[in-house]
Amino acid sequence: MMMCCCASCGVAEADDVKLKNCTACYLVKYCSIKCQKDHRPKHKRACKKRAAELHDEILFKQPESSHLGDCPICCIPLPLDLKESSMKGCCSKVICNGCNYANQTREVEGRLKHSCPFCRQLAPNSQIESDTLELADRVKVNDPVALRQVGSRCHMKGDYNGAFEYTSKAVEFGDVAAHYYLSIMYGDGQGVKKDEKKEIYHLEQAAIGGHTNARNGLGCIEGYRGQHDRAIKHFTIAAKQGHDESVGNLKKLYKVGKVSKEDFAATLRAYQAAVDATKSSQRDAAQEYYQK
């Protein structure tokens, strides 16, 4: 069994000596903060290199699904097109159009009052006023989706300070899409001072969480920097999640010889599989009905 020692002073770990990892790279251990500071000049280069490697391992890992996840009723992946689903203010659940349409049909046939397809809360007469009140109730309990939704509405009204406040709070409670909206605000300097580092940070956090627009945005940034290998990785990950624009960007890189024919073909197959996974006869019926 290998004995663990402090990278600075060499003291071995024992019952009365507890060593702690360098939290950036996890390559070495220290017995105290003093030893960590003393050893920093020798360790700095290797630490940064390994920290960057660990960061990329997380950043370029293919997400299991998009940040939208599945419809909580039919359990089929939600489409990336936000027009094909809707968020319910009463429960903050995002429901696909197929399940919304099925619920609507059930209510018409049964002559029932309109209610939420998920939580079955009855809809009041004034839908707009109700939606606002319902969101306010969800905000009170720090629902991250509601916080982000209110932040988005503040943004549309030009209240950038309010948008930043609510969106930042949504990030604190783990909302992936809120990271994406914060990246836009830091990029445009709306409600906050422009900050490229924070813009990239929030784009990366959103991409890690499965946000395809954020992933595509990172790909574009890397492309502008001339980092085509990294750009291709980002576009490929988003394309495999069913993201149309990323497929288009990969196609451009394929035409100029940056992507091989085999890799491009494999990505297209994965893209189509992701798109097909969001389809159902119920959603097709809803699309036909809503397009009338």
> Which tens digits make up the pLDDT trace of 222-279?
999 999 999 999 999 999 999 999 999 999 999 999 999 999 999 999 999 999 999 9
Q: Identify whether residues 76 and 117 lie together within a single domain.
A: yes
Which residue is it, tokens 């390994």?
50
Contact 263, 233 (CB under 8 A): no
Q: What is the pLDDT of residue 184?
A: 96
Q: Containing domain of residue 36, as a range?
A: 1-59
| Mean pLDDT, rounded, of the chain | 93
Contact 106, 112 (CB under 8 A): yes
Q: Identify whether residues 51 and 68 lie together within a single domain.
A: no
Instruction: Tell whether 220 is covered by a domain.
Output: no
Q: Identify whether residues 131 and 176 lie together within a single domain.
A: yes
Total number of domains constituting the chain: 4
Rounded-to-integer distance, Cα 202 and Cα 19, Å: 32
At 13, the pLDDT band (50, 70, 90 cuts) reads: confident
Q: Identify whether residues 29 and 98 lie together within a single domain.
A: no
> Which tens digits make up the pLDDT trace of 18-67?
899 999 999 999 999 999 999 999 999 999 999 999 999 999 999 999 99
Q: Identify whether residues 111 and 129 lie together within a single domain.
A: no
Say how many C-beta atoms besides its own lie within 10 A of residue 146's C-beta: 25
Q: Identify whether residues 128 and 206 lie together within a single domain.
A: yes
Q: Identify whether residues 116 and 128 lie together within a single domain.
A: no
Q: Identify whether residues 187 and 132 lie together within a single domain.
A: yes
Q: What is the largest CA-CA distance in the chain?
A: 78
DSSP class of residue 241?
Answer: T
Instruction: Tell whether 272 is covered by a domain.
Output: yes
Q: Identify whether residues 242 and 196 lie together within a single domain.
A: no
Rounded-to-integer distance, Cα 100 and Cα 113, Å: 14
Instruction: Tell whether 285 is covered by a domain.
Output: no
Instruction: Tell whether 289 is covered by a domain.
Output: no
Instruction: Name the pTM for this structure.
Output: 0.89
Contact 122, 115 (CB under 8 A): yes
Q: Identify whether residues 238 and 272 lie together within a single domain.
A: yes
Q: Identify whether residues 168 and 91 lie together within a single domain.
A: no
